[in-house]
Amino acid sequence: MNTIAQRLGHKIARQRRAAGLTQAALAEKVGVQPETISRLETGKRTVSLGMMALLSESLGLELHELFRLQSTDSPKDKAMGRLIWFGSRLSVTEIELVLDVGATVLMHARRAQGR
């Protein structure tokens, strides 16, 4: 079983990659050495609340989003995390557009599969 530090580190790494940042780029934004980000992401170092606030801001997240830790890393959990991250950066109009387009595409795909 992963420790909370490992799960939090995994989440930070996942969000950093989703934001298109390297460990070095995130470290620069937060004001630490890249090795610190590496240790945080592997769970070898615990993170302070102040550091979590800096990390969330640098990753474009609300602080509470870093606390939402998944107990499993199933493909569906990972996809849902990416979907939530993506949707949280859109305007209401853009979210509605994505939902409408997505529903239409799924409807046609399911018809084509004979569902």
Q: What is the pLDDT at residue 106?
A: 93
Sign of the C-alpha dihedral, residues 89, 21, 18, 55?
negative
Q: Kindly give, in sequence order, each residue whose CB lies less than 8 Å from that of residue 49, ignoring residues fewer than 6 positions away.
A: none
Q: Which two tokens stand for residue 86?
A: 């993506």
Q: What is the pLDDT at residue 64?
A: 86
Q: What is the pLDDT at residue 1?
A: 45
Q: Kindly list the domain boundaries of the chain, sorted by start residue.
A: 1-69, 70-115
Q: Is the pLDDT of residue 100 over 70?
A: yes
CATH architecture, range 1-69: Orthogonal Bundle (1.10)
CA 92 to chain centre: 20
16-53 pLDDT per residue, tens: 998 889 999 999 999 999 999 999 999 999 889 999 99
- Backbone dihedral region for residue 99 (phi beyond 0: left; psi -120 to 50: alpha; all else: beta): alpha
Q: Which two tokens stand for residue 90?
A: 């859109």
Burial of 51 (0-12, 13-18, 19+ CB in 10 A): middle
Asked if 67 and 56 touch (Cβ cutoff 8 Å), the reply is no
Which 3 state secondary structure label does DSSP give 89? coil
Asked if 66 and 52 touch (Cβ cutoff 8 Å), the reply is yes
